[in-house]
Amino acid sequence: MTLQQPTSSLAPPPPSPPAPLLSVHNLTVEFRTRSGVVKALEAVDFAINPGQTVGIVGESGSGKSVTAFTLMGVLDRAGKVTAGRALLQTDAIAVDLLKEPESSLRQIRGKEVSMIFQNPRTALNPIRKVGKQITDVLRCHTEIPQAELRQKALELLASVRIPDPEKRYDAYPYELSGGLCQRIMIALALACSPKLLIADEPTTGLDVTTQATVMNLIKDLADQRQMATVLITHDLALASEYCDRIVVMHAGHVVESAPTHTLFTHPRHPYTAKLIAATPEPHKTFADLTPIPGNLPDLKSTNLPPCRFSGRCDRFETGVCDQVPLARESLGDGHQVACWKPL
């Protein structure tokens, strides 16, 4: 008689989720100006996984671009990181972008992390041909032989769907349209196949048709390369179409973050709900749009409230919303909100 080995009725454990490519914790930044210290970012937290697109949205002055510049290590000299970590998973180890020396950051920028800036005409060198600017990046971060650099640059121009790459290679930025300059910026950013792309308002100044072309191009290339993308925008409609997850910022705070569908169907922070109500949609008239009352608080103030939206919030309650520290609640399914009285 053969004894049967007992079989376990337990199902195998589910696979663990992938480690975030970038984890930002408690990022706090100040700017020292003649009129005082500007508290630009306070306790900013978010993460992004490989292949994921995360949108950072909010009004002008909310801290979106400062966050990007800090991660890239190109913060203005008046800016200072006073707290926080930004852990980037490289091939070997996790590095803290906020503590790496400039010599190391030069190797990381362009190779591991790249950025598309708001205005390509000012970001590109106006007196250097665009093809040469691409080969400069390749020469710095790759071991491609000198004789093959031009051909690789032409392939990159073709990959971002620039017509007649041979002709455009020898063009100066002022000879190209805004849409073509933005594609050149994308080619520069993706030249060394970075793991993370930060796109800071990549459609600013472009007409609607060109905006869609540029965004579809970024999405297609990100999908092909399994590249993580941080999309910084004030356009919620754009973020809803292209992002897997949304981070909402107000006056240097992350007030809410959630999967895109969850955020737009069940916003929990009053500011998020007001942003959505103020977003134009095809079926809305101007009368349907509700502006957000008030202005951003003065970030130079020495007595900023714990919740920087409190002065504009119709749910504010003395003794509740002015408690320190600001409430930060996890609602499950990757949904977090920083509010004492969420919706």
Q: What is the 3-state secondary structure (H, E, C) of 40-98?
A: EEEEEEEEECCCCEEEEECCCCCCHHHHHHHHHCCCCCCEEEEEEEEEEECCCCEEECC
Candidates 175, 207, 173; CA nearest to 187 is 173
- Measure the CA–CA gap between 125 and 331, rounded to whole angstroms: 46
Instruction: Give the pLDDT of residue 90.
Output: 79
Contacting residues for 239 by C-beta, under 8 A, at least 6 apart: 55, 57, 231, 233, 246, 260
Domains delineated in the chain? 22-243 (3.40.50.300), 250-337 (no CATH)
Q: What is the DSSP letter of 167?
A: H
Residues 6+ apart with CB under 8 A from 265: none
pLDDT tens for the 343 residues of the chain, in order: 454 554 545 566 655 566 799 999 999 999 999 999 999 999 999 999 999 999 999 999 999 999 999 999 999 999 999 999 999 997 768 899 999 999 999 989 989 999 998 888 888 999 999 999 999 999 999 999 999 999 999 999 999 989 999 999 999 999 999 899 999 999 999 999 999 999 999 988 888 888 888 899 999 999 998 999 999 999 999 999 999 999 999 999 999 999 999 999 999 999 999 999 988 877 777 777 788 888 999 999 989 999 999 999 999 999 999 999 988 999 989 999 999 999 9
Q: Please, are residues 232 and 200 in contact by the beta-carbon 8 Å criterion?
A: yes
Contact in structure between 71 and 18 (CB atoms under 8 Å):
no
Q: How far, in Å, CA of 98 to CA of 316, rounded? A: 35
Helix or strand (DSSP H, E) at 166: helix 165-169
Going from the C-alpha of 47 to that of each of 149, 306, 325, the distances in angstroms are 35, 23, 22
CA distance 258 to 116: 24
At 141, list the tokens.
């971060």
| Type of residue at 285 | T
pLDDT at 1: 44
Alpha-carbon distance of 337 to 68, in angstroms, equals 21
Q: In this structure, what are the phi and psi dihedrals at residue 294, rounded to the nearest 5 degrees?
A: 80, -175
Could you identify the residue written with the tokens 């292949």? 51
Residue 169 near residue 153, CB atoms below 8 Å: yes
